[in-house]
């Protein structure tokens, strides 16, 4: 089966990767929905993770939001794993045109990928809500409590919270990449977060590959389904 993946990748002229949290679990960043995922761990408060990571919670309980965000969503020491590195190699060889990711960790770029469409934003970009000044991750990590700008405004991470819309420009670019791809590799995503998951319907090519430890609602549509760890699987297929 793994050699079938290698063959599909070898034949691909416009490959797109669409990924989620499972792409980064082998870098030590937990996903949301599997056994050790963030949803199973709770928040240590009376709120559920989905509530804490919502726009209205951010507005009403900003300090609690940052407590949870800092302790559960930021992994500044994480490094790319073999999955990120294999995808960067594929792009360098001219076979992969884009990585479309639901992840916010920046590990595809750290691995060397260049065309990365971050549907849910990035922990590495942060903006003052009052004056618009941009900050890096350090501003969030080193702040005591709510991170604030020199102007006194709250600095908000450029990550898409529940109740917030996706950036239309990123969404359009992702749809365009998927529509023009001949091969789509979907990996490490439960395909349950919308509208991101619905994007794969824009794919009109021949080869749809799913690499996910657990079954997803899209398994029946794929040419090849691999319920395997993504790092080892992609590394073997892209030597």
Query: In angstroms, rounded to a whole number, what is the distance separating the alpha carbons of residues 49 and 43?
Result: 6
Task: List, in order, residues 6 or more apart from 198 with CB less than 8 Å away.
Answer: none
Site size with ligand NAD, rule: CB under 6 A: 28
| 120 catalytically annotated | yes
Minimum CB distance to ligand NAD smaller for 69 or for 135: 69
Rg (CA), the chain: 18
Find where tokens 């479309």 sit: 100
**Cross-strand bridge partners of residue 211:** 187, 226
| Alpha-carbon gap, residue 197 to 120, rounded angstroms | 12
**What six digits make up the tokens of 207?**
């080869």
Tokens linked to 233:
């699987």
- If one asks whether residue 25 binds ligand NAD (CB under 6 A), the answer comes out as yes
Catalytic member of 55, 120, 124, 227: 120
- 113 is a contact residue toward ligand NAD (CB under 6 A): no
Binding region for ligand NAD (CB under 6 A) out of 31-39, 85-93, 149-157, 200-208:
31-39
Residue 168, CA distances (Å) to 65, 142, 164, 229, 234 in order: 25, 31, 12, 32, 30
126 makes contact with ligand NAD (CB under 6 A) = no
Q: Rule CB under 6 A: is residue 103 a binding residue for ligand NAD? A: yes
Touching ligand NAD, residues 191-220 (CB under 6 A): 192-193, 211-214
116 in Cβ contact with 171 (< 8 Å): no
Among 5, 9, 16, 21, binds ligand NAD (CB under 6 A): 21
Binding mask 49-88 for ligand NAD (x = CB under 6 A): ----------------------------------------
Q: Which residues bind ligand NAD (CB under 6 A)?
A: 20-22, 24-26, 29, 31-34, 37, 102-105, 120, 188-190, 192-193, 211-214, 229-230
Catalytic (active-site) positions: 120
């Amino acid at each position: 089966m793994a050699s079938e993946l290698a063959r599909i990748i070898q034949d691909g002229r416009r490959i797109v990767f669409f990924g989620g949290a499972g792409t980064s679990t082998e870098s030590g960043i937990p996903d949301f929905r599997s056994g050790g995922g963030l949803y199973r761990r709770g928040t240590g408060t009376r709120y559920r993770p989905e509530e804490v990571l919502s726009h209205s919670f951010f507005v009403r309980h900003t300090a609690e939001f940052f407590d949870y965000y800092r302790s559960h969503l930021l992994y500044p020491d994480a490094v790319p794993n073999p999955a990120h590195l294999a995808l960067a190699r594929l792009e360098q060889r001219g076979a992969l045109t884009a990585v479309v990711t639901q992840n916010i960790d920046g590990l595809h770029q750290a691995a060397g990928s260049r065309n990365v469409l971050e549907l849910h934003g990035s922990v590495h970009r942060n903006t003052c809500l009052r004056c618009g000044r941009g900050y890096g991750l350090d501003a969030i990590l080193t702040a005591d409590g709510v991170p604030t700008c020199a102007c006194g405004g709250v600095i908000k991470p450029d990550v898409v919270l529940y109740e917030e819309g996706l950036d239309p420009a990123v969404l359009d670019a992702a749809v365009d990449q998927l529509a023009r791809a001949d091969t789509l590799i979907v990996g490490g995503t439960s395909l349950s977060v919308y509208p991101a998951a619905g994007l794969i319907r824009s794919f009109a090519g021949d080869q749809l590959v799913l690499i996910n430890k657990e079954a997803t609602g899209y398994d029946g549509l794929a040419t090849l389904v691999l319920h395997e760890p993504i790092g080892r699987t992609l590394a073997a297929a892209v030597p």
